[in-house]
């Protein structure tokens, strides 16, 4: 209404609310302002009451035609015609005014005029009746019109007085000319004055009471508004993150329940997206908590502005994690908004020099989950799926997006159990190594061993490498496991010359991690093992990027004397490119080609692959030699080295410590298979 001033609780000022009064003192309106407000409110009420009031008044006015027939039958026809003429005319004028939207004052004048003309229209033919005595007594009904002006309609007091005064004057004028005794004129004249005075006084008191009711209602309205605003401010505080101004976890959870209910009820699909600021702890530690808060505010503002374009909601889910909810119809839209989130933060170009992963600005990892029939009936399911997707995005190198896929084995419940197990595997001695011999075909001697990783659960149940190795790569646990494997082979077999060469598989994630070559050099130095006695196998089957950091890491490893082997050659699409870029010491041909040699076509394929590798000058190792027939084939093709059950099964380190060392050649590294 404009007469109460309150303090808005904007999200940008939430941090200051604790130090300031939530509302300014009330501004009390002056008397003239109150009167103006009362008149405005009165006009609205009078306008609302005018139509039913006049229609009821006209209906009663017409019903009094029955008294005309009884008291003045000789002129009743004229009075009834006058009643209908005045009544219908008044109603038509009122309806026309309401349709055209004329001012309330004119509607009041119409109603007042209807009272006056209704009285005059009835009175004029009535006084012409032959029975003057009946006419003189019938004139008393004129006071009804006077009372109507003061009591039936809610006119302003001044208009009521004028209307009833006009009727009073008409009464006195007619009373003067109608033949009657002096006593009659005196009595009825006094009665008219009494009616005018009484009804005017009652009208004045009613107006005064209406004004008091208005003041009380206004005070109650002000108090209710203040209480509502205070309650809303407190509610906003309880639902708003004080740092970023975004919705907090409580508010976003409520909104998530609404989204979920709509999806369950009407099938309105939506996406839940979790966003995590990459390496935020390092940012905080280096730049300080004040800059860390500023970073979160800038990220929050940028994301909030971007999410508006998708009609979504964003909130702070805790720490450096945000959540976005948006209605989506297709999975392709989810990929678009997830990438928009990632690029929006990267484009802020906020400096982050302590990442040590080749990126020097603040970025985010994004995990998204989209509603589908298999999501289930529990609200927590979609958040759990988004959290898994976020985990995969972070494990995939960060600064990337990941959409939850129920058909992805990395997203299964079993993989999550394995991921938790890998976190404690080294500390709880749940991981171990076994070694499989590698034989020189020409001499028949074991030249190297390959280290194979094993994992068991807390109850002693073995976990197949085909299950835990992909999870280790996804979660990043392969970094710690890889360092542990290299250190273990050095201490178990190489440091005391039990075996001359051991090979260990390395993951692309390890090669892309800054400082990997340095950590290997540190292990070799601590254990006193020469780099030439260690071989690292790169698996072609994995999607290895032709990244400059990977090539630089391989170059640094070769400078340490470490041999680089290409594993599982022929199973992927990158093998030829890697043969061209890297001078491998040995190429291991996948066992599937040897096992296909039962057919002429399979044997020809193996022969072609051997020729290709030999032309590049690499030594050749064939895996999966299990029978005498397969051994004959590798001899026929003049293979350098072999590995398989025909040579020996994987065995603990103790099985190799009793063997004398007779060859000083390089052999191969740990393979998790």
Residues in Cβ contact with 577 at an 8 Å cutoff, skipping those fewer than 6 apart? 546
Q: How many residues does the chain have?
A: 673
660 DSSP 8-state letter: P
Show the tokens assigned to 514: 């800054």
What is the enclosing helix (H) or strand (E) of 468? helix 465-475
What are 72's two structure tokens? 């003045």
Q: Looking up tokens 């170059």, which residue turns up?
A: 555
328 in Cβ contact with 370 (< 8 Å)? yes
313 touches 255 (CB < 8 A)? yes
Structure-token pair, residue 241: 């993150």
CA-to-CA distance for 591 and 256, rounded, in angstroms? 51
C-alpha–C-alpha distance, residues 585 and 501, integer Å? 13
Locus of tokens 């401010």: 233
**Is 352 in contact with 362 (CB distance < 8 Å)?**
yes
Neighbour order of strands in the sheet with 364-370: 313-318, 321-327, 270-277, 364-370, 401-403
* Alpha helices for 64-150 (secondary structure H): 65-71, 76-100, 104-126, 132-138, 142-147
Beta strands 641-642; 431-440: pairing state: antiparallel
Q: Which residues are catalytic?
A: 320
d(CA 370, CA 308) in angstroms, rounded, equals: 19
Q: For the chain, how long is the longest CA-to-CA vector?
A: 157
Residue with tokens 């296909």: 596
Nearest to 317, CA basis, from 296, 344, 295: 296
Separation CA 71–CA 81 (nearest Å):
16
CA atoms within 13 A of residue 381's CA, in its CB half-sphere = 13
Residues 417/635, Cβ–Cβ less than 8 Å: no
Determine how many CB atoms are found less than 10 A away from the CB of residue 170: 18
Q: How far, in Å, are 257, 338, 375, 385 from residue 270 at the CA level?
A: 12, 13, 12, 13
CA torsion 50-53-55-58 (nearest 10°) is -120
In 3D, which of 262, 270, 267 has the Cα closest to residue 370? 270
**Block residue for tokens 């199973």:** 571
How far, in Å, CA of 83 to CA of 65, rounded?
A: 8
Query: Which among 423, 430, 481 is positioned nearest to 459, based on CA atoms?
Result: 430
- Tell me how crowded residue 403 is: count the other CB atoms within 10 A of its CB: 21
Q: How far is CA 273 from CA 242, 334, 347, 354, 377, in A?
A: 22, 9, 19, 26, 19
Rounded to the nearest angstrom, the gap between the alpha carbon of residue 452 and the centroid of all alpha carbons in its chain is: 45
Q: Cβ atoms within 10 A of the Cβ of 235, count? A: 12
The structure tokens 């001012």 sit at 103
């Amino acid at each position: 209404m404009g007469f109460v001033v309150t303090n808005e609780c904007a999200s940008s000022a939430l941090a200051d609310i604790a130090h300031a009064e939530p509302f300014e003192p009330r501004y009390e309106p002056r008397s003239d302002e109150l009167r103006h407000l009362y008149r405005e409110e009165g006009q609205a009420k009078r306008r609302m009451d005018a139509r039913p009031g006049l229609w009821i008044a006209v209906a009663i006015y017409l019903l009094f035609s029955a008294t005309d027939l009884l008291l003045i039958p000789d002129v009743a026809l004229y009075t009834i015609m006058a009643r209908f003429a005045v009544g219908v005319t008044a109603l038509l004028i009122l309806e026309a005014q309401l349709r055209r939207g004329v001012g309330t004052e004119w509607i009041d004048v119409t109603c007042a005029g209807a009272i006056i003309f209704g009285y005059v229209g009835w009175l004029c033919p009535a006084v012409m009746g032959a029975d003057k005595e009946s006419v003189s007594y019938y004139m008393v009904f004129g006071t009804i019109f006077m009372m109507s002006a003061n009591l039936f309609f809610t006119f302003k007091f001044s208009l009521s007085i004028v209307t009833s005064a006009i009727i009073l004057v008409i009464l006195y004028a007619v009373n003067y000319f109608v033949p009657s005794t002096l006593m009659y004129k005196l009595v009825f004249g006094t009665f008219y004055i009494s009616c005018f005075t009484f009804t005017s006084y009652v009208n004045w008191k009613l107006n005064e009471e209406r004004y008091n009711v208005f003041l009380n209602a206004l005070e109650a309205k002000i108090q209710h508004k203040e209480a509502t605003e205070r309650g809303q401010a407190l509610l906003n505080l309880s639902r708003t993150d004080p740092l970023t101004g975004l919705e907090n976890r409580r508010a976003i959870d409520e909104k998530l329940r609404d989204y979920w209910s709509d999806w369950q009820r009407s099938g309105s699909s939506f996406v839940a997206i979790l966003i995590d600021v990459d390496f935020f702890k390092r940012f905080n530690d280096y730049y300080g908590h004040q800059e860390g808060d500023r970073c979160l505010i800038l990220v929050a503002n940028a994301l909030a502005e971007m999410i508006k374009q998708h009609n979504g909601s964003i909130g702070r889910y805790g720490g450096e994690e945000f959540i976005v909810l948006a209605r989506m119809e297709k999975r392709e839209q989810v990929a678009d908004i997830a990438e928009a989130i990632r690029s929006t933060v990267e484009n802020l170009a906020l400096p982050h020099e302590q990442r040590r992963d080749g990126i020097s600005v603040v970025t985010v990892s994004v995990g998204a989950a989209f509603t589908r029939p298999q999501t289930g009936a529990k609200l927590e399911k979609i958040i759990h799926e988004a959290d898994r997707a976020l985990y995969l995005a972070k494990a995939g190198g960060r600064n990337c997006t990941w959409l939850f896929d129920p058909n992805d084995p990395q997203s299964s419940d079993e993989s999550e159990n394995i991921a938790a197990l890998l976190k404690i595997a080294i500390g709880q001695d749940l991981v171990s190594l076994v070694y499989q011999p590698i034989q020189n075909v020409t001499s028949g001697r074991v030249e190297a061993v390959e280290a194979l990783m094993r994992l068991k659960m807390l109850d002693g149940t073995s976990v197949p490498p085909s299950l835990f190795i992909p999870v280790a790569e996804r979660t990043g646990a392969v970094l710690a496991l890889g360092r542990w494997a290299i250190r273990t082979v050095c201490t178990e077999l190489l440091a005391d010359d039990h075996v001359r060469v051991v090979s260990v598989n390395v993951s692309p994630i390890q090669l892309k991690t800054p400082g990997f070559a340095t950590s290997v050099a540190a292990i070799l130095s601590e254990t006193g093992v020469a780099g030439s006695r260690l071989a690292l196998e790169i698996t072609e089957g994995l999607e290895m990027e032709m990244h400059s950091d990977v090539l630089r890491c391989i170059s640094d490893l070769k400078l340490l004397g470490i041999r680089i082997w290409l594993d599982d050659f022929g199973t992927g699409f990158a093998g030829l490119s890697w043969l061209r870029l890297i001078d491998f010491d040995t190429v291991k041909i996948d066992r599937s080609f040897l096992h296909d040699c039962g057919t002429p076509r399979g044997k020809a394929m193996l022969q072609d692959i051997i020729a290709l590798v030999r032309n590049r000058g690499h030594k050749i190792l064939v895996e999966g030699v299990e029978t005498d027939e397969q051994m004959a084939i590798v001899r026929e093709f003049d293979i350098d080295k072999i590995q398989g059950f025909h040579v020996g099964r994987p065995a603990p380190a103790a099985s190799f410590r009793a063997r004398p060392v007779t060859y000083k050649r390089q052999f191969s590294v740990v393979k998790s298979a």
